[in-house]
Amino acid sequence: MGLPDDPEFQPVLTGLFLSMYLVTVLGNLLIILAVSSDSHLHTPMYFFLSNLSLADIGFTSTTVPRTIVNIQTHSRVIAYASCLTQMSFSIFFACMEDTLLAVMAYDRFVAICHPLHYPVIMNPRLCGFLVLVSVFLSLLISQVHNLIVLQFSCFKEIKISNFFCDPSQLLTLSCSDTFVNNIVTNFFAAVFGFLPISGIFFSYYKIASSILRVPLSSGKYKAFSTCSSHLAVVCLFYGTVIGVYLGSSMASPRKSVVASVMYTVVTPMLNPFIYSLRNSDIKSALRRLHSRIVKYLCLIHPFCYVG
């Protein structure tokens, strides 16, 4: 029930959600293609970045397409199984992004504070293991929330004041006793939210201490520039997450919906721009990818000319 009822706004909402979704998918796909096709980017940092882009695509794909269909069909009804599925996938991809941001902070910590040991520490086996751990933990958290909701009784014909099955609202809609479930949910949320952000803060504390010891200002700028994009994404991600949960408990439902749009739609859309606009390696890889695509098209098209 989070979207406006006015028919005049329906085309505007459809165009807005569709355009943001297309930009998100295309931008993150370009990041993945650039990293996978360019040997210069076959490093741990860009390996984690491509997985983060994949998580962004999955995260926004769990909510936006269904929202567009609801707007076009003028129906706000979602089946019980579909609601649980949407909730599970949204938790899974959100947790994936959360853990990957912590892993990327650790990668930057090793690169700046232990540069000589970086190739040995961040070897391919460890990188793959960290991604697998992120997937496993995210799957565990999503299934725990799913099992908790499955135990609820009187869970029919309810109204959700959001544009998707928001987990923070679903867990408070049962008419049965939810004391134990609330303890389990809050425990997992505290642990899973506290550990990644603690790792990020600790990594950047060590990074800042290491940068301040660099004698030359050019060296400080170069060291800081390697993690500025990641720091911007971290601030954007956690800022919108805090806005969602503070908004759901303190602000009006409409403001909570706006915060949810920022969290689920706008943040995944901005991540590719943050990493590509401030990263010369990504921009060079995208230019090389573009030239290869143009050359390939010229091979299959007889009237094509490359200047």
For residue 6, what are the contacts with CB-CB under 8 A and spacing of at least 6?
Answer: none
pLDDT at 25: 92
pTM of the model: 0.83
pLDDT block averages, 10 residues each, the chain of length 307 = 68 84 90 82 87 91 86 79 85 89 89 86 92 91 80 66 74 61 66 78 84 68 70 78 59 63 80 74 73 68 55
Maximum Cα–Cα distance across the chain: 71
Can you say whether residue 16 is alpha, beta or left, with left for phi > 0 and alpha for psi between -120 and 50 degrees? alpha
Beta carbons of 206 and 109 less than 8 angstroms apart = yes
Domains delineated in the chain: 7-300 (1.20.1070.10)
Residue type, 207: I
Please check whether residue 240 is in contact with residue 259, taking contact to mean a CB–CB distance below 8 angstroms: yes
pLDDT of 221 reads: 66
